[in-house]
């Protein structure tokens, strides 16, 4: 991570110092720890959401059936989203700023997924207005960020840092709508850190488990939590394990397969083994911690072989990582 930060910082701070600019930043704002500002830029808008969805444009803007501008290709992401609106220094072109970000990201091992300029499509910037619902666009400079954009440039990139998938979106343009600021390019930087949301906030109870098993013969359990690549059950799983034990105590004749599932990230053989170890951990916890007879439970692991959603998105991957109770 330090190497990536160093590369990004070196590439983006070629011109001038950021110290004076930081003193003029909006209150409470700061640079993202992985991607710094273009030197001499000032933060005019700032927003962080710990977990939300995000539509990443990967193609030029086109009209949909309703006449709205939408990206011709896109990827829907979930995770922590950081949005920073920078007002750049005078005398810098949008191409120069975008190329600095692109060079820095690629030097740090990021892959450029899409980039465009004049070919971005008419009103490409409105895609971002819709995505943000203009939450940070009413900045202290009065008005929006790109009311009348000129020389618009855009790029989307993808990389991995500390086991997390990171997407970066950079939109740069001059705003001809504000004559006093039209010589200073505006940069909208968005960093999406794909991750699982805080879970365990809603626990499925024994009654709901029973209904699912009676109705379909199985029930997906999302309240048993593990760290990445670990089969050790996390403490916040206690309430869910208690509900499973209540189900088994209320139905003494019920026998279950405890089946572990993963997403498709990583090696297939490893995921099969990990899912089996997680199923065995759940079985062990029910036996040793809740007094359930071991003969009533049979652990198994199928890894990514039975997805319930597409593994092409973070949301789908989260749904596929689960434990299922299957009636024997």
CATH of residue 210's domain is 3.30.1330.60
Backbone angles phi, psi at 139, to 5 degrees: -90, 175
In terms of domains, do 129 and 64 share one? yes
Domain contains 246: yes
In terms of domains, do 36 and 138 share one? yes
Domain contains 45: yes
Chain CA centroid to CA 215, Å: 34
In terms of domains, do 52 and 147 share one? yes
Inter-CA distances, 48 with 45, 129, 170, 187, 321, Å? 11, 16, 16, 16, 26
Domain contains 199: no
3-state secondary structure of 69: strand
In terms of domains, do 29 and 174 share one? yes
- What crossing angle do the helices spanning 2-12 and 94-107 adopt, rounded to 10°? 160
Query: The tokens 């300029």 sit on which residue?
Result: 117
State the Cα–Cα distance between residues 249 and 252, nearest whole angstrom. Answer: 6
State the Cα–Cα distance between residues 7 and 278, nearest whole angstrom. Answer: 38
In terms of domains, do 132 and 188 share one? yes
Contact by Cβ (8 Å): 255, 248: no
In terms of domains, do 130 and 189 share one? yes
In terms of domains, do 69 and 160 share one? yes
The model's pLDDT over 244-299, given as tens digits with 9 standing for 90+, comes to 999 999 999 999 999 999 999 889 999 999 999 999 999 999 999 999 999 999 99
Flag the least confident range among 138-147, 162-171, 295-304: 138-147
Domain hosting residue 99, numbered range: 2-194
Say which residues have a Cβ less than 8 Å from residue 94's Cβ, sequence separation at least 6. Answer: 151, 152, 153, 172, 173, 174, 185
Burial class (CB in 10 A: 0-12, 13-18, 19+), 142: exposed
State the Cα–Cα distance between residues 146 and 125, nearest whole angstrom. Answer: 7
Of 194, 229, 248, which marks where a domain is finished?
A: 194
Domain contains 200: no
What is the helix (H) or strand (E) element at residue 88, kind and residue range? none
Domain contains 173: yes
In terms of domains, do 261 and 306 share one? yes
- Per cent of the chain over pLDDT 70 is 82
In terms of domains, do 245 and 175 share one? no
Number of H helices, E strands in the chain: 8, 12
The model's pLDDT over 192-235, given as tens digits with 9 standing for 90+, comes to 998 654 544 455 788 888 988 998 999 888 889 888 788 999 88
In terms of domains, do 189 and 230 share one? no
Domain count for the chain? 2
Contact by Cβ (8 Å): 153, 183: no
In terms of domains, do 323 and 269 share one? yes
Domain contains 96: yes
DSSP conformational letter for 229: T
In terms of domains, do 17 and 133 share one? yes
The model's pLDDT over 301-310, given as tens digits with 9 standing for 90+, comes to 999 999 988 8
Of 194, 222, 237, which marks where a domain is finished?
A: 194
Considering only residues 73 and 2, tell me which one the structure prediction assigns the higher pLDDT: 73
Domain contains 81: yes
Of 161, 194, 227, which marks where a domain is finished?
A: 194
Domain contains 280: yes
Flag the least confident range among 162-166, 187-191, 214-218, 272-276: 162-166
């Amino acid at each position: 991570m330090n190497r990536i930060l160093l590369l990004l910082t070196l590439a983006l701070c070629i011109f001038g110092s950021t110290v004076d600019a930081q003193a003029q930043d909006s209150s409470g704002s700061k640079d993202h720890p992985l991607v710094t500002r273009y030197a001499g830029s000032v933060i005019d808008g700032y927003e962080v959401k710990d977990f939300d969805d995000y539509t990443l444009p990967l193609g030029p803007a086109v009209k949909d059936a309703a006449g709205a501008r939408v990206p011709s290709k896109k990827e829907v992401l979930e995770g922590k989203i950081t949005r920073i609106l920078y007002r750049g220094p005078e005398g810098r072109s949008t191409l120069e700023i975008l190329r600095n970000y692109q060079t820095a990201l690629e030097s740090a091992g990021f892959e450029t997924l899409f980039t465009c300029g004049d070919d971005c499509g008419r009103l490409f910037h409105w895609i971002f207005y819709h995505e943000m619902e203009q939450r940070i666009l009413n900045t202290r400079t009065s008005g929006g960020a790109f009311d009348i954009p000129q020389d618009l440039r855009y790029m989307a990139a993808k990389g991995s840092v500390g086991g997390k998938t990171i997407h970066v979106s950079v939109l740069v343009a001059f705003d001809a709508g504000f004559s006093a600021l039209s010589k200073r390019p505006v940069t909208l930087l968005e960093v999406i850190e794909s991750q699982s949301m805080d879970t365990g906030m809603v626990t499925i109870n024994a009654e709901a488990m029973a209904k699912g098993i009676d109705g379909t013969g199985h029930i997906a359990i999302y309240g048993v939590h593990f760290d990445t690549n670990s089969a050790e059950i996390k403490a916040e799983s206690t309430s869910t394990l208690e509900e499973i034990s209540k189900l088994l105590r209320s139905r003494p004749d019920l026998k279950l397969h405890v089946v572990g599932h993963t997403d498709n990230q990583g090696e297939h053989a490893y995921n099969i083994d990990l899912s089996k170890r997680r199923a065995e951990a759940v079985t062990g916890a029910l036996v040793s911690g809740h007094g359930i007879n071991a003969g009533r439970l049979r652990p198994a692991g199928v890894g990514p072989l039975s997805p319930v959603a597409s593994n092409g998105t973070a949301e789908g991957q989260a749904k596929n990582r689960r434990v299922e109770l299957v009636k024997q």
